[in-house]
Every structure is written in structure tokens, then in C-alpha cells.
Structure 1
Amino acid sequence: MAAFQRRKAQRLARADGSRKGALDARAAPVAARGCAVQKKDCAWLLVTHELCDRDHVMTALEKATGDVVLKFEPFVLHVLCRELQDAQLLHSVAIDSGFRNSGITVGRGGKIVMAVRSTHCLEVPLSHNGKLMVSEEYIEFLIHLANQKMEENRRRIDRFYKRLELALKTAVSTNNLPAEEMEKNCSVYVHRRKRKTIREQGVRTSPKDHDEELQPEDDPESNLDIFAEMMI
């Protein structure tokens, strides 16, 4: 517990190294304080956490002198967890909410980090050495596509938030049950996850296979910014 509190204090004391350089307003209710620090060796012509339009992008491109790339990056959330079961609960909620690239890492000294991540990214080159390499019509298409991804990103965030609230309330209720009832609920949870995995993978198994426990922590995915943004 002391190690967790020390790591938490150290992380909160660090500057905000995100591309935006400041805390996203939507993250304010659940995230730590931030401060304005930009990443080096990269000029951001336009960064937004909202839907984008053609005029904003074309105005930004007028300032370009080098290579320009249009990027959409979906929601990413990294959570330092006290216990492995906390990370497992968060991982289950993330997967069920559509964040299929989520994973858990356990580092030195027992540091447990849960990464909530998705895969619907977008990254397209627009210009080279200041010369526009695509048509304005294609840029409009890319903006429309990026905005669709942003709207889907918001829907996933909403699902994640609501399902996490429900999962935490359920966990609190379960912790107040007798030990025998808690063991029963855990067993049901494990078998439900195994049946769901079997359905998704389309795998045929014998009845014996269904009696084996599926370990929620057996997900090798890992790695590490925060919240969706579209930038060029």
C-alpha cells in the first residue's frame, strides 16, 4: 500500500507531457491536475478534442513548411492499480465497452498498470516539404472519416464510464457478502468469461474444458497518453 501511494504521488507531481500539453476538459472529473508542457521536435499545426471542419484544417495547412500528417488517436487511459483484482475488473469493463486493445502490465516491485486502449486510429500523410500531396476533396473525406471515429470514440467512453460505475457498485456489494457467497460469485464470473471467449473464437470444446478456470489476467497486451484527439 505504501509503494502504491508513493508511485501515485510521484506521478501526480510530474508535468503533463501530452501533445495537447494540458488536461482534457472531459477528463477533469476523473484525472489528476495537469500543466502546459509541449513535446519537443514536433510542430502541431492543429490539435482538437472536438469534431473538426474543413476550414480549420485548410487554414492550418497554410502554415506548413515540412511534412504534414493528419492523425486521429482514440481514447487511451492508464490506471495505476493497488491490487491485481482491481486491474482485472477494469480490464473486463474495458473489453466489454469496445476497447479491445486493453491490457495489464505488472512491473518491477509489483507495479500494476491497466491500459484502456482501442484500435480505431487514423494516420494519413498530407504534404511533403510544404507541398500538398492530396486533393482538397480527399482532405474533406479524411475529415469526415476522422469525425466519425471521434463520435464512435465518445460512445465507447460513455459505455466505459457507465459500465465501470456499475461494476464498482457490484464489487462493493460483493465485498460485503459472506466468504462462501463471494467464492460462488467468483466461480460464476470465471465460467461466464470462458463461455464468452469460446463464443467469440468459435472454438468447440468438450464438457471437461468448460470446467477449467479462465484466468482474466492472461492478456499479454500492454503499453502506454490520454483521451482522443485529432491533430495535424
Structure 2
Amino acid sequence: MEGGGAFEQWKQQCLNKLDGSRKGSVDGGVAHAVSLLNSSERYFTTSSCSGRVILIDQVSDCTAVQKQNCSWLFVTHEKCRREDVAAALETSSGDAVFKFEPCVLHVQCRMLEDAQLLHSVAINSGFRNSGVTVGKKGKIIMAVRSTHCLEVPLSHRGRVLVSEEYIDFLVGAANNKMEENLKRIERFYNCLRAALEPEQDNTSRLTDERTEVKPVYRRRRKRTEQDSAESDCAVRNRSEHDQEEDLDCELTLFT
């Protein structure tokens, strides 16, 4: 009970807080999967991304790719065009890196068995880098992740290092990965929906049974009370003649 109560509290707090992402809302490509997870009593999402193509500009003397040391030159959650990437690359003043990042979901699970089910769904859908972590406070987080990433440096200290032909090739490769990424999201959604159908069917069946049992019970009870009343009324309304006949029968038996 305590664990379930804590989970419900965490879920309510997470879903009620403001979206802290750069976009400020759930990506359209993964919104249906996020909605399905959050509608289940066993899960809720703590963060999500449908996948993206980005061009970031790192500080030249920074060896680690960190958000605080990077400026975002271009980003899209759909397929990109070479013209847009090339135009963004011209604004680079540091070390520009072109990246494709596949879909990622972080999902908090009620129980470890729920995390195992979700992990199986993710692996079977192509998200083979997925994993489960358990925090000190008992929070069970399932990360739905894939491995088909792409990361290529394109400039150094503002000087472009590649040709337009290579940029065109790179954009094509990223778009192919985005297409495969969206297919995996659909597989994940369909597999998850199939896995949660027994839970939804049981809930629906219990609701229907509760709705049907009450009228049946009332009708039976009503008939029972009516039959009892009719029986009592029949006894009270027996004529004296009938009672005399009964008495005569009794007397005859003992004659």
C-alpha cells in the first residue's frame, strides 16, 4: 500500500508540473505512446523525445559535449533538408557537430514486473539499448533507447571541414535513420497496446459486471418480496369455508 501510494503521488506530481524541455511540449511523433503509458495505472513518463536531427556548436576548447558549452544551430524532430543544415553550418564559430539522436523515453514503473514487461516490449520493438534502474527511494525507471545514432564533426573553430556533397550524403543518412526510428516507435506503440489490453479488458469487464449485477439483484429481491407478500395475503384471505373443509378432513381422518 505504501509503495502504491508513493507511486501515485510521484505520478501526479510529474504529470502536473510544467514541461521543462526546450520545445515545451511532447513531440508529435511519440505523443500517442506517451499518452498510452500515462493512461496506464502501471506507468508514467518522466521525459521523452521522438528523435531529432541537430547541429550544435561547441566551444573549441571544450572536449566534452555539454549543453552549457554548446549553442544549437539547427534542430528538427522530422526529416531535414540539406539547405537548412548548410545554412546553419555557415553560422558556426566553434566546432559544429551534426547529430541524429533516436527516440528516448524515460518511464517510471509501479513494480519491477511492470518494468520487465516494458523492457520486453522495447527490445522486441528494436530499442535494444533499453535498461532498468532502481533508485534509493524505490523509484523504478525504464529507459527506452536505441543504438542507431549518428554524430559527425563538420567544422573546427568556424571553418567547415567537409564538402557540400558530403553534407548531402550525411543528410540522407540521417533521414534514413529518422524513418527507421519512426517505424520503431510505431512497433513499440502497437506492442505496448497489445501487452496492456488484458489489463484494459479486465477493467472494462469488471465495470460491466458491476453495472449488470445490481439490476439483477434488485429484480430478484423484488420478486422474492412480492412472492412472499402474495403468499401471506393468500393465507390471510382464506375463507372460513376452506378452513371448515380442512377441519372436516382432519375429523374424518380420526373417525
Instruction: Name the TM tier (shorter chain).
Output: 0.5 to 0.7
Cα distance per residue 1:177-229 (max 9 Å; x no partner):
xxxxxxxxxxxxxxxxxxxxxxxxxxxxxxxxxxxxxxxxxxxxxxxxxxxxx
Distance (Å, rounded) in 1 between the aligned partners of 2:106 and 2:30: 12
- Counterpart of 2:251? none
| Unmatched 5+ stretches in structure 1 | 177-232
* Amino-acid identity (%): 60
- Aligned match for 1:5, one of 5, 8, 30: 8
- Counterpart of 2:125? 97
- Counterpart of 2:73? 45
C-alpha change, 1:113 and 1:33, in structure 2 (3 Å) is: closer
Distance (Å, rounded) in 1 between the aligned partners of 2:30 and 2:184: 14
C-alpha change, 1:69 and 1:130, in structure 2 (3 Å) is: same
| Unmatched 5+ stretches in structure 2 | 36-44, 48-66, 205-255
Q: Which amino acid aligns with 2:96?
A: V
Deviation at 1:80, TM superposition (A): 0.6
Q: Which amino acid aligns with 2:10?
A: R
Specify which structure has the bigger relative contact order, considering alpha-carbon pairs within 8 angstroms and separated by 6 or more residues. Answer: 1
Structure 1 or 2: larger strand share? 2
C-alpha change, 1:125 and 1:20, in structure 2 (3 Å) is: farther
1:137 aligns with 2:165: yes
1:58 aligns with 2:86: yes
- Counterpart of 1:169? 197
1:23 aligns with 2:26: yes
C-alpha change, 1:6 and 1:167, in structure 2 (3 Å) is: same
Deviation at 1:108, TM superposition (A): 1.1
- Aligned match for 1:117, one of 120, 145, 155: 145
C-alpha change, 1:175 and 1:88, in structure 2 (3 Å) is: farther
Distance (Å, rounded) in 2 between the aligned partners of 1:134 and 1:97: 35
Structure 1 or 2: larger helix share? 2
Distance (Å, rounded) in 2 between the aligned partners of 1:172 and 1:86: 15
Deviation at 1:6, TM superposition (A): 2.5
Does the residue aligned with 1:98 lie in a helix, a strand or coil? coil
Whether contact under 8 Å (1:23, 1:33) holds in the other structure is: no
Cα distance per residue 1:17-71 (max 9 Å; x no partner):
445454312333425799xxxx544211110011111101111112111110000
Q: Which amino acid aligns with 2:72?
A: W
| Aligned CA-pair RMSD | 2.5
Distance (Å, rounded) in 1 between the aligned partners of 2:200 and 2:31: 24
Distance (Å, rounded) in 2 between the aligned partners of 1:69 and 1:16: 27
Distance (Å, rounded) in 1 between the aligned partners of 2:88 and 2:108: 37
- Counterpart of 1:82? 110
Whether contact under 8 Å (2:46, 2:106) holds in the other structure is: no
- Structure 1 segments of 4 or more deviating over 6 A? none
Does the residue aligned with 2:10 lie in a helix, a strand or coil? helix
Whether contact under 8 Å (1:20, 1:47) holds in the other structure is: no
Deviation at 1:13, TM superposition (A): 5.0
- Counterpart of 1:203? none
Q: Which amino acid aligns with 1:86?
A: D
Cα distance per residue 1:80-136 (max 9 Å; x no partner):
111111111111110111111111111112111111110000000000111001111
